[in-house]
A = this chain, B = another copy of it.
Amino acid sequence: MAHISFEESIEILNKNLPTKKRTKKVSLQESLGYVLANDIVASFNNPAYPTASMDGYAIKYSDIDKKIKIIGSNPAGSFEYDTLKDGEAIKTFTGSFMPDGADTLVPIENVEVNGATLKVITKVNKGFSVRSVGEDFRENEVIIPKNTKITFAEIGVMASLNKPIVEVIDKAKVAIIATGSEILDLGERGNIAQIHSSNNYTLSALGKSLGYDMTNVGLVKDNKEEIKTKILNSLEVNDIVVTTGGVSVGDFDFVKEIAGEFEVLFHGVNIKPGQWVMIAKVGEKYIVSLPGFPYSSFVTFLLYVVPLADKISGFNSLTTIKAKLRDKFKKVNPKTQFVAVNIAYENGEFIVDVRDKKSGSSGILTNLVNNFALMKLDAGFYELSKDSSVDIIIYNKEFL
């Protein structure tokens, strides 16, 4: 079975990306991290009327050199005095509307008050501290375009627009099933040849931190019927079912037979790690079978599951940037390779190295701890000199 190249695998993936998005309505508070399904349009001007932006006295600028009569006060949120005549002042508070006829707000500390009259001691310009109508936004203006990822700022803007309910693109639903008779669940005891499962925890946490709706289905032993049942059940309520383990050529690899009942996009890519990755399409849903080794399953999740889940969710989780190699690097494997690197932002540039990273097999998960990213190296044998520019896939921005 010949492996396809990495570039071919990405081309096939891109041709088979999901085309449908689900939308749903959520409360404003729940909308953080989702993507907007519709434009957010203002239904009113903000401010609706000229508004005081400090505490002070609303006056006509033409009176600024005169003795001015204080006729009353408009606390924030009330509006007792709606008109101001020549020679009059109304005490006006931050956020209150300016009375009709007033054009300037004189701060409290700029005036001298004597009983019911005031004199401006420190002058201000005409229009001082008055927010004009629609300064923040105008009626019918598109304030936030659809397909925007909702951060705290969008939530604040939607709150001020009085939008308690938001229509969003539903996040990709992704299930993780770890297969293999050699793996034990947390706390479970087994024989000397068994190891504790990490893939389902790692990938569930990775997917969660990228913003997907993750289900950690758990472990299934190498039993064809049981694996098949779990995959099919999970497929009913998820967009993507990810399995780890059981996709190489060994006798106990049942998963590929199950997935083989559907349209297999590819099985086997010329990459290191993760060559035995397989993607099957089942209508608008996907089964992605990743290798069992922790580092391999992590890399192939990023390369093949993330683009599918991102497309469904409406956002982009990964960024590729250029970085400089701190040390020379010799590429001793002919495949397209993905190497865990330390990354730092130093003196205005991104620097990567593999210092203190254990080289060795794809079983090594500890290389992913700390400030790390993934260096992508094209196929072939070659040596990169110190200071070479390399492609770095960023999936965790904590290092910045």
Q: Is A113 an interface residue (CB 8 A)?
A: no
Report the minimal beta-carbon distance from A223 to chain B, rounded to whole angstroms. Answer: 12
Would B151 and A196 count as touching, CB distance under 8 A?
A: no
Set B32, B51, B136, B250: member contacting A209, Cβ < 8 A: B32
| Chain B residues with CB under 8 A of A370 | 148
Report the minimal beta-carbon distance from A334 to chain B, rounded to whole angstroms. Answer: 15
**Number of copies of this chain in the oligomer?**
2
Q: Is A266 an interface residue (CB 8 A)?
A: no
Which chain B residue lies CB-closest to A323? B348
Q: Is A206 an interface residue (CB 8 A)?
A: yes
Q: Is A180 an interface residue (CB 8 A)?
A: yes
How many residues of chain A get a CB closer than 8 Å to chain B's CBs? 113
**Given contacts A161-B196, A209-B152, are A321 and B400 in contact (CB under 8 A)?**
yes
Would B136 and A192 count as touching, CB distance under 8 A?
A: no
Would A364 and B209 count as touching, CB distance under 8 A?
A: no
Set B96, B182, B205: member contacting A152, Cβ < 8 A: B205
Tell me, in angstroms, the Cα distance from A369 to B397 when the chains sit together: 20
Give the 8 A-B residue pairs with the shortest CB-CB distance, closest first.
A156-B202, A77-B182, A55-B250, A77-B181, A152-B205, A153-B368, A152-B206, A397-B397
Q: Which A residues have a C-beta under 8 Å from some C-beta of B?
A: 28-29, 32-33, 46-49, 51, 53-55, 73-79, 91, 93-97, 108-109, 129, 131, 135-137, 143-144, 148-149, 151-164, 180-184, 186-187, 190-206, 208-209, 216, 221-222, 245, 248-252, 291-294, 298, 319, 321-322, 345, 348-349, 358, 360-366, 368-370, 372, 394, 396-398, 400
Beyond A94-B291, A161-B196, 9 additional contacts (C-beta under 8 Å) are: A29-B205, A54-B248, A55-B249, A77-B180, A78-B181, A97-B192, A156-B201, A156-B368, A162-B196
